[in-house]
Chain A
Amino acid sequence: MKAIEKTAVRKRGRPPGAATKRINTRFPAGLAEKIEYAAAVRGVAISAFIHEAVAERADRIIEAESRWVLTRQEAATVVAMIDKPPKPIKNMLDAAKLAARHVVIRA
């Protein structure tokens, strides 16, 4: 995979942005072939293709932990719960009692 990547980069030039940090990883043969094929279909270097795909996935994961854009169904559920908040159920009340007896929260 590494050899293929080097050839592709030399042929097509470096992907955009200063690539200064190396992450070493190995790919199963089947996946490496799939990546090569997909990169060829898109007409980009393999390293550029991997950068783009990984950056997109990383952005999605990071965003999911800091920003939640509600779908129509999610918005309807959230608003319905805010309008009519469910009363704390017995398990939560019991859990709070148990924690109040056995846990101290240190700042």
Chain B
Amino acid sequence: MSSYALEILAECHDRAGFASGLESVDRYLREAARGHLEKGISVTRVLVEVGGTPPKQVVGYFTLSNIAVEAGDWPGVAKRLPKQAVSAVLLGRLAVAKAAHERGIGSMLVASARQLARETILRTGGIGMVVDAANEHVVGFYTRFGFRRVSAASLRMFLPSASLETGAAIPMG
């Protein structure tokens, strides 16, 4: 039986009580995530304990959106990437509540985001999953899951579509 449910952010979730220790991601959940969801900019999903009652305590969350990737005219690139924009799935933010650290929540959120990204790419196309790490420490976190930095000057990371298959499927219900 599942211990946690991953739900699309809604009124019943306690956004104000979420504290990860990184103010920018806490503020995003509190102030911007609902608006971005309503405007179709991005979708935020929150992890809550199964059976919780509103306001449901959020143990972690992540935000997915589409991103257009433009390769430009770089020599040799056009063979593998068309000149026009191609789609990818962006994992813009991922955070775990301080009180829920050391329970594997971060790992489960990454795995869930990966599965949802893969499903999107299978349905509508896309070259892979892009991650924006908040800082160098977070780069280390995503590196552990196979994401690779695209340049030394950027905190942006990437994993191609073909690398998103992992076998074990997280149940949908």
Contact = CB atoms under 8 A, between A and B. Distances in A.
Contact of B158 (A81, A83, A88): A81
Contacts of A82: 80-81, 127-128, 160, 162
A96 B148 contact: no
B35 to A, nearest CB: 13
Contact-residue bracket for chain A: 35 or more
**The 7 nearest A-B residue pairs measured at CB:** A85-B162, A95-B107, A95-B111, A96-B166, A99-B111, A99-B108, A104-B2
Interface of B: 2-8, 41-42, 45, 47, 50, 65-72, 74, 76-77, 80-81, 85, 88, 90, 92, 104, 107-108, 110-112, 114-116, 127-128, 130, 132, 144-146, 148-151, 154, 156, 158-173
Interface of A: 64-79, 81-83, 85-89, 91-107
25 contacts: A68-B88, A68-B130, A70-B71, A75-B77, A76-B74, A77-B148, A87-B163, A88-B163, A88-B166, A92-B111, A95-B145, A96-B166, A96-B168, A96-B170, A97-B168, A98-B104, A98-B111, A99-B112, A103-B111, A104-B170, A104-B172, A105-B6, A105-B116, A106-B5, A107-B8
